[in-house]
């Protein structure tokens, strides 16, 4: 986030840059939240004192908590600030069960996942390999871990698991995002928590805004280390941040994403930082991490500046087999695209791809990278909203509420802004924050769930119409973690083209997306070849896999086998 002066420096006089989309059918969404029973507002509880967390709640998760094959929705809420004059108001997180007919039922109380903190983000992972996804909530105050009991309920096991939040300077660190990954490939998911800044509500600086008191620039606060918890396999975790080198580097952590960027078989960690250099933790054999952001060329933009990093994605966007990094920022900074060139190096492709021009006037929070139109190329989409809640008072160019954006991947290294054609629901302005994505209705098209401060959440059903095919993989680890997170997949279609992805739930900013791995197949009705490299090191090769369906792929227990079946 930035101050008003920083936001406007060199901006006045700029005109919004856009691009018309290609001749392909329009990408389109419709908001089914209200009709579908998802009645949720992110209550950030803004105050005259402008407490720093008020502008940042964003948590969204889409996951199948009850194993019925349908993605459910979890939304994270804020809470009263200590200085609010009114009393008795309490806001809770909500869990909505997917009924399979376009409607959802609020099951929060029965499930026991209402939460008890000022919420920021959500992370989904099956940490005990029982086949039921568990839920971690990152809060300003105590974090929470909910164990999935398998009967539609969860148990708060935070105290037992020892993951309520690490201390820094005697206070619990303000956690923003989190993610699950198996950093040492022992078959157990470990937990990474990104922490933001050293903030004390009883000793907060007073900052001047556009019209009186305003939200402070992040530089008004000291940075924090991130936290890594190793899974002990008995329901408890050990904080290994110091011994692995994670806590030796400070920052203002926002989005966190995982991928094996150098192909050595161990998952690496990218953290988008707010007004401090981004961090890239290179995994050294599952024992420790080396921070290589500057060396790898992902710490700064092309001008050598640290940006207001928000949401982070770590996926291959150019189909060369190497995961790239794309993160959001605020207006006049652009959303940097770092292209993985191999050898541990990234190049800045923001200008050449057109992303710089398309995003210069945008402020973005959570984001996603997925093939929205199933043409075989991953597209970009972002939840937009300005940081400053009073920016409309002084600006003709920027507004607190912004329309969401979708950038279509043209397949030639360039992107086009096709937001205008995505439907009135999608571009309705609001101070958007959270975004998670997945196929909510199993029709092969990626849907989005987006939150906004003080406004209703949106459930964007993808209604794009074309004749492209798709395939959706639900991985089932045996020697690897049960969810198969960290598995690397290559899909080759009969036309000889290949595309790549990695299984993860950690996406965007404070978000957790569909654990299933989605591929658009274009005009191909099948995948000629599918290669899965499991975290255990097992290589599994499948041939002639029919598309347009959700399939389960189970990791071979001992030797390679083609165990593929349709999902329920």
Task: Dump pLDDT digits (tens) for 476-493.
Answer: 999 999 999 999 999 999
* Terminal alpha carbon distance of the chain: 44
Cα–Cα distance measured from residue 313 to residue 256, given in angstroms and rounded to the nearest whole number: 8
Where b means 16+ CB within 10 Å and e means fewer, 335-370 reads bbbbbbeeeebbebbbeebbbbbbbbbbbbbbbbbb
Rg of the chain in Å (alpha carbons): 22
The residue behind tokens 């192909």 is 263
What φ, ψ does residue 296 adopt, rounded to 5°? -85, -10
User: Please, which residues bridge with residue 281 across strands?
Assistant: 269, 291
From residue 330, give the alpha-carbon distance in Å to each of 9, 262, 274, 457, 470.
Answer: 12, 29, 10, 21, 34
The residue behind tokens 């292209």 is 339
Cα–Cα distance measured from residue 156 to residue 136, given in angstroms and rounded to the nearest whole number: 10
- Using DSSP's 3-state secondary structure scheme, residue 297 falls into coil
Residue 7 has pLDDT above 50, yes or no: no
Mean pLDDT, the chain, as a whole number?
92
Q: Are 177 and 253 in contact (CB under 8 A)?
A: yes
Give residue 79's pLDDT. Answer: 87
Output 374 or 2, whichever has higher pLDDT: 374
The residue-averaged pLDDT of 128-136 equals 98
The residue-averaged pLDDT of 9-16 equals 31
Q: Are 267 and 183 in contact (CB under 8 A)?
A: yes
Percent of the chain with pLDDT over 90: 83
Q: Are 514 and 62 in contact (CB under 8 A)?
A: yes
Residue range 387-413, pLDDT digits in tens: 988 888 888 889 999 999 999 999 999
From residue 402, give the alpha-carbon distance in Å to each of 45, 244, 294, 397, 453.
Answer: 20, 40, 32, 11, 12
Residue 339's nearest CA partner among 286, 305, 378, 384 is 378
Residue range 366-382, pLDDT digits in tens: 999 999 999 999 999 99
Q: How confident is the model at residue 11 (pLDDT cuts 50, 70, 90)?
A: very low
Q: Are 311 and 364 in contact (CB under 8 A)?
A: yes
User: Please, which residues bridge with residue 136 across strands?
Assistant: 123, 145
Q: How confident is the model at residue 563 (pLDDT cuts 50, 70, 90)?
A: low
Contacts of 286 (CB under 8 A, 6+ apart): 183, 184, 185, 186, 266
Where b means 16+ CB within 10 Å and e means fewer, 442-466 reads bebbbbbbbbbbebbbbbbbbbbeb
Q: How confident is the model at residue 20 (pLDDT cuts 50, 70, 90)?
A: very low
Tokens representing 181 are 């990954």
User: Please, which residues bridge with residue 61 across strands?
Assistant: 74, 512
Q: How confident is the model at residue 48 (pLDDT cuts 50, 70, 90)?
A: confident
The runs of H, that is alpha helices, within 256-377 are 293-296, 355-359
Residue range 94-119, pLDDT digits in tens: 999 999 999 999 999 999 999 988 99
Give residue 281's pLDDT. Answer: 98
Element (H, E) at 134: strand 134-139
Residue 135 has pLDDT above 90, yes or no: yes
Residue 237's nearest CA partner among 228, 247, 224, 248 is 228
Cα–Cα distance measured from residue 4 to residue 393, given in angstroms and rounded to the nearest whole number: 12
Its sign, for the CA torsion 398, 401, 403, 409, is: positive
Q: Are 284 and 268 in contact (CB under 8 A)?
A: no
Tokens representing 378 are 């991953």
CB atoms within 10 A of CB 153: 16
Cα–Cα distance measured from residue 416 to residue 19, given in angstroms and rounded to the nearest whole number: 5
Cα-based torsion angle of the residue sequence 377, 469, 501, 294 in order, rounded to the nearest 10 degrees: 20
What φ, ψ does residue 344 adopt, rounded to 5°? 80, 10
Q: Are 22 and 452 in contact (CB under 8 A)?
A: no
Which of 84-88, 175-179, 399-403 bottoms out in mean pLDDT, i.e. has the lowest?
84-88
Distance of CA 141 to the CA centre of its chain: 21
């Amino acid at each position: 986030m930035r101050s008003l002066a920083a936001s406007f420096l060199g901006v006045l006089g700029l005109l919004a840059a856009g691009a018309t989309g290609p001749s392909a059918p329009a990408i389109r969404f419709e908001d089914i939240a209200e009709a579908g029973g998802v009645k949720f507002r992110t209550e950030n509880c803004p105050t005259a004192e402008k407490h720093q967390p008020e502008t940042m709640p964003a948590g969204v998760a889409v996951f199948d908590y009850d194993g019925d094959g349908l993605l459910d929705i979890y939304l994270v809420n804020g809470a009263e600030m200590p200085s609010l004059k009114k009393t008795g108001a309490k806001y809770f997180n909500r869990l909505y069960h997917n009924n399979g007919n376009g409607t959802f039922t609020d099951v929060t109380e029965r499930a026991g996942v209402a939460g008890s903190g000022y919420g920021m983000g959500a992370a989904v992972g099956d940490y005990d390999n029982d086949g039921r996804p568990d839920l971690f909530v990152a809060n300003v105050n105590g974090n929470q871990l909910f164990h999935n009991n398998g009967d539609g309920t969860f148990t708060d096991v935070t105290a037992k698991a020892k993951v309520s939040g690490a201390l820094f300077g005697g206070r619990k660190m303000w956690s923003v995002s989190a993610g699950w990954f198996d950093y040492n490939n022992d078959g157990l998911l470990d937990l990474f928590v990104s922490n933001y800044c050293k903030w004390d509500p009883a000793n907060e600086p007073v900052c001047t805004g556009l019209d009186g008191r305003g939200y402070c620039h992040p530089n008004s606060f000291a940075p924090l280390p991130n936290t890594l918890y190793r899974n002990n396999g008995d329901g408890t975790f050990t904080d290994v941040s110091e011994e692995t080198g994670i806590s030796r580097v400070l920052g203002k952590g926002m989005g966190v994403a995982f991928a094996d960027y150098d192909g050595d078989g161990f998952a690496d960690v990218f953290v988008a930082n707010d007004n401090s250099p981004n961090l890239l933790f290179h995994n050294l054999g599952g024992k420790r991490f080396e921070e290589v952001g500057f060396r790898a060329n992902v710490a700064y933009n092309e001008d050598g500046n640290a940006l207001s990093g928000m949401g982070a994605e770590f996926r291959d966007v150019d189909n060369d087999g190497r995961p790239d990094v794309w993160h959001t920022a605020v207006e006049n900074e652009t959303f940097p695209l770092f292209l993985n060139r191999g050898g541990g190096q990234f190049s800045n492709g923001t200008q050449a791809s057109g992303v710089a021009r398309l995003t210069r006037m945008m402020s973005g929070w959570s984001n996603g990278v997925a093939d929205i139109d199933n043409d075989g190329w991953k597209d970009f989409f972002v939840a937009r909203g300005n940081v400053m809640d009073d920016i409309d008072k002084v600006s003709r160019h920027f507004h607190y509420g912004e329309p969401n954006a979708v950038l279509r991947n043209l397949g030639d290294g360039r992107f086009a802004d096709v937001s205008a054609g995505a439907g009135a629901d999608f571009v309705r302005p609001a101070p958007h924050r959270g975004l998670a994505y997945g196929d909510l209705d199993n029709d092969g098209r990626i849907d989005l769930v987006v939150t906004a401060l003080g406004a209703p959440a949106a459930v964007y059903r993808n209604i794009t119409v074309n004749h492209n095919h798709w395939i959706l993989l639900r991985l089932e680890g045996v020697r690897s973690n049960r969810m198969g997170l960290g598995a690397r997949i290559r899909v080759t279609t009969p036309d000889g083209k290949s595309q790549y992805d990695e299984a993860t739930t950690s996406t965007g900013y404070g978000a957790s997306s569909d654990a299933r791995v989605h591929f658009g197949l274009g005009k191909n009705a099948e995948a000629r070849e599918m290669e899965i490299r499991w975290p255990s090191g097992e290589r599994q090769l499948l041939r002639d896999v029919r598309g347009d369906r959700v399939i389960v792929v189970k990791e071979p227990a001992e030797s390679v086998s083609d165990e593929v079946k349709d999902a329920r």
